[in-house]
Amino acid sequence: MGIVLASYNIHRCIGSDGRLDIPRVAEVICAMGADVIALQEVDFPLDDKLGLLHRLAGETGMVPIAGPTLSQAHGHYGNAILTRAEVLAVRRHTLSLGTREPRGALDVDIRCNGITIQIVATHLGLQPLERRHQIRALLDMFRAIPPGPTALLGDFNEWLPWGRPVRWMHRYFGRPPTPATFPAVLPFLSLDRIWVHPLRALRQIESIRTPLARIASDHLPVRALVEWD
């Protein structure tokens, strides 16, 4: 049985029309039928009783895992995962560089369809120097553990398909298809990506181009069907 993975930069649930609308982002998420979805640009208010992530978890019926990277006066901001799978372990890694905006990776072990899978969700920096530093750190992390079913998901902010960070990731994971996800209204850049190990497990990958997805955020979600042995 396949496992559906997805990644979605939700832009704080502010759509391309400028409106904050959590239910329509939840509707896009539900329509994907994902077992695991990595989220970027998630707000975590200090009083999180009605926080964005918990709202999305409540409306999708999924388990939330927070990975904030940036502390602000009114709360925190960063990565998150929603999942229907059993969560075995959660680790949070810093990928920050100097005085640039803090970045991190949310590293989770799940069990789904009888298989234990390492899921890493991230959102890389805007500057090439940051991304090179961050990709090196991620690759060092993967190389330090025994190889097994693994997925790396997120917004990699890499505009150039031949950029060094992308080439390094392809060298390690292989070269999956990279559907365009940005800007959502008329996408031509593959900023949001999913890599899986081993690559042969990847069965399908696509960006979600429904009318609602085109307006719910400034990025389209990307979804993959994976079948690990």
Cα–Cα distance for residue pair 142/105, rounded to 1 Å: 12
Region of 69 please: left (phi>0), alpha (psi -120 to 50) or beta. Answer: alpha
Q: Residue 50 above 70 pLDDT? A: no
Average pLDDT estimate for 171-198: 96
Q: Where does the pLDDT of residue 39 fall: very low under 50, low under 70, confident under 90, or very high at 90 and above? A: very high
**What confidence score (pLDDT) does residue 9 get?**
98
Mean residue pLDDT across the chain: 92
CATH of the domain at 152: 3.60.10.10
Torsion of CA 206, 207, 208, 213, to 10 degrees: 170
Q: What angle do CA 150, 152, 153 make, to 5 degrees?
A: 140
Cα–Cα distance for residue pair 119/3, rounded to 1 Å: 12
Higher pLDDT, 50 or 204: 204
Higher pLDDT, 105 or 69: 105
Domain count, the chain: 1
Q: Which residue has the tokens 């400028």?
A: 18
pLDDT tens profile 92-130: 999 988 888 889 999 999 999 999 999 999 999 999 999
DSSP state of 101: P
Helix (H, G, I), strand (E, B) or coil at 11: helix
Q: Residue 44 above 80 pLDDT? A: no
Per the structure, the complete domain to which residue 71 belongs is given by 3-226
The pTM (predicted TM-score) of the whole model is 0.94
Q: Which residues, in sequence order, are bridge partners of residue 155? A: 123, 192
